[in-house]
Chains A and B, each alone.
Chain A
Amino acid sequence: MSERIREKLTLLADAAKYDVSCASSGSDRKNENKGLGNASNGICHAYTEDGRCVSLLKILLSNFCIYDCAYCISRKSNDIKRVAFTVQEVVDLTINFYRRNYIEGLFLSSGIFKNPDYTMERLVLVAKKLRTEHNFHGYIHLKTIPGASDELMQAAALYADRLSVNVEMPTKESLRLLAPDKDRDDMLKPMQYIDKALIQNQEEKKQFKQAPTLAPAGQSTQMVIGASPETDFQVLYMSDYFYRKMHLRRVYYSGYVPISYDNRLPAIGTPVPIIRENRLYQADWLMRFYHFKVHEIITPDAPLLDMQIDPKLAWALRNLHLFPIDINTADYHLIMRIPGIGLQSAQKICEARKFSRLNMHHLQQIGIAINRARYFITTSDVKMVKDYQADQIKEFILNEGKSKYAPNFSQQLKLF
């Protein structure tokens, strides 16, 4: 009995791991009636040896699938062992892991068995059981299966904190090539439906306090990077579309891990594009938290992000005419755009300068990366750094070897 469960867990966790989302934040579900669990800021309870956060029990309900997406390990034509959890098995694992403080909740996805409705129904059933039979208030993330009925989508939103459908391929063309059974519009449809439902729900909540909250942590999606030929420009414009038009909370970028000898895809052994993935996340942060517009980060005539330096530094070097910025007088929104100064430091600077004029020493104490910032700022004691060219500054910064991510990726770098 326990060996059967172990085998399923091994296979179905393995098949689910390429979905990089593991966030359990963005919800504010309270523990009610002395039940089990709550969901607020999201805690990483462990980190895998690849350094990724483990916060949810992330599994497939089943790896049976009627589709044949080339980039997916569960594709119909792949010769692998097929298994499926029962609804009760998933519920038991979730509850028992949760009670031991291993996880924040459940992220349940599935291969598509029989048909979309049949699959979605079972995903919803797991969530419903957890919420209604076990009084469980931890985090639940459900995959929405393209093609499932609106009623099932609605039910999923009622029990889950977050819903997601992965578009996987940044463009229609790649999707057609690599996932011939899937139609792009079919993937966007559930996203649109949920988006409308969530907006409507917010209106209802304003009028009736008692109205149930639908998917408080909203929607997310994932794009696979490096399996198809899209540029960063195409990827980031897609993200921008998702954020603005679909109000997604997160877009995930998953560097393609070669799993197939299919010649439409990078060969097995091709390194995972970890640096590129990382630069995309940095660009994504600039859009979500630093108020950068997508066209400030990337343009059609230079459609690739600089792999050597982060996109914020790259932006600053393209816009040297805006610098130096005076730490003691500039607007908060400009301060946060200075390379080497993060959001928290920007805030601290703006608070601290109300008390005294800030000098380099103050900035160092506050914890900003002086070796980057110094080319872009004026402080009370340092008036203006020499007039360097963008290339020179880049050179200096690179030579200091302080690229925050360089040490971790040196192995991959050597491969390039």
Chain B
Amino acid sequence: MQTVLYDASFEGFFTAVFEIYEYRISQPDIQREGAAAVSLFGNTHTVHTDRNKAGRVIKKLQEKLYEDAFRQLYWSFLSAQPGIENTLFRYTRYALSSSQQITTDYSNADVLTIQQTAKKMGREKHRMEAFIRFQQTKDGLYYAVVSPDFNVLPLISRHFEERYADQRWLIYDTTRKYGIFYDLNTVSEVSIDFTTSPQDTAAIYDEKEALYQSLWQTYFNSTNITARKNMPLHIRHMPRRYWKYLTEKKPY
């Protein structure tokens, strides 16, 4: 077993794949730099991200796979699940060596894992699109803070850009410490310096903000049918860990 270290970027990963072939590393164990304890015994190969090498692998894969399969690879990669790189590598090797489309070979454990991981990502993406709650600031920015289970901001950006084309918005991921910001033209990645973090949040929000939040709570409570109360179902659909964002779940 030889540890292959890369820089956690998508291109870095595909550079690693390229070099595993290039150097004929027979039993690679792909790890993010700094993420895992490096094996003391086996030797380590450190990858330097190389756009050219990565691009060649990606191009080859895109020829071999349906478009949707490549999306699954990307989404699985973003999941950053332990060991996902090795699954992705085996998947890639299978795809490149097979003469037919392997995307739907669910009898293959790696294909199934990738499909299921992408689905998990899809679920988190969907939940963010559903549960994000914007608050309007004094200068007209719609602002939301999230901490999703996975790194899904790259996946939700388009949805919000298409939907809220006429309002400036910012979605900030507190776990991964970066945000996406839409300025009425394009979406860009931003990082925010929170050292001066204003605790007096009320001061920064639009005067109508509190009103609409409380009207939304009013609506949420009035639309409930008590005779049908079913908390297990409620919680299954809206897991507790998301409640912290939800205006309707805040105390009055």
The chain A residues found within 8 Å of chain B, CB to CB, are 2, 5-6, 9-11, 13-14, 16-18, 31, 34-38, 43-54, 57-59, 93, 96-97, 99-102, 135, 255, 257-258, 272, 274, 348, 351-352, 354-356, 358, 362, 365-366, 407-408
Contact = CB atoms under 8 A, between A and B. Distances in A.
A38 B131 CA distance: 17
Nearest to B161: A31
Interface string B233-248: 1101110000000111
B107 A38 contact: no
B106 A6 contact: no
Nearest to A271: B227
A297 B145 CA distance: 48
B236 to A, nearest CB: 8
B208 interface: yes
B109 interface: yes
**Interface centre among B136, B223, B236, by most A CB within 10 Å?**
B223
Contacts of B112: 365-366
B74 interface: no
Which 8 A-B residue pairings sit nearest by Cβ, starting from the closest? A51-B233, A351-B104, A50-B228, A352-B106, A13-B222, A47-B237, A355-B105, A48-B224
B175 interface: no
Contact of A93 (B136, B142, B215, B230): B215
B96 interface: no
Given A31-B163, A31-B165, A45 B131 contact: yes
B227 A355 contact: no
Contacts of B211: 2
A134 to B, nearest CB: 10
B186 to A, nearest CB: 13
Contacts of A50: 224-226, 228-230, 233-234
Contacts of A366: 106, 112
B165 A35 contact: yes
Interface residues of B, number: 54
**Interface centre among A37, A47, A358, by most B CB within 10 Å?**
A47
A11 B234 CA distance: 23
Contacts of A408: 230, 232-233
B10 interface: no
B134 interface: yes
B142 A365 contact: no
B48 interface: no
Contacts of B225: 17-18, 48, 50, 52, 257
A183 to B, nearest CB: 29
Contact of A257 (B104, B184, B227, B233): B227
Contacts of A54: 220, 223
Contact of A57 (B163, B219, B228, B238): B219
Interface in B110-166: 112, 126, 129-136, 142, 144, 162-166
A189 B139 CA distance: 50
Contacts of B246: 46
A133 to B, nearest CB: 13
B52 to A, nearest CB: 33
B218 A6 contact: yes
B167 interface: yes
Contacts of A47: 233-234, 237-238
B231 interface: yes
Nearest to A39: B163
Nearest to B214: A6
B117 to A, nearest CB: 14
B106 A362 contact: yes
B108 to A, nearest CB: 7
Contact of B216 (A102, A257, A258): A102
Given A31-B163, A36-B166, A51-B228, 5 more contacts: A9-B219, A50-B226, A100-B212, A101-B134, A352-B105
6 contacts: A17-B224, A50-B225, A50-B230, A50-B233, A348-B106, A351-B105
Interface in B9-25: none
B222 A38 contact: no
Given A9-B219, A10-B218, A43-B126, A49 B162 contact: no
A187 B233 CA distance: 34
A253 to B, nearest CB: 13
Contacts of A258: 227
B131 A34 contact: no
A357 to B, nearest CB: 9
A291 B63 CA distance: 36
A346 B126 CA distance: 24
A147 to B, nearest CB: 28
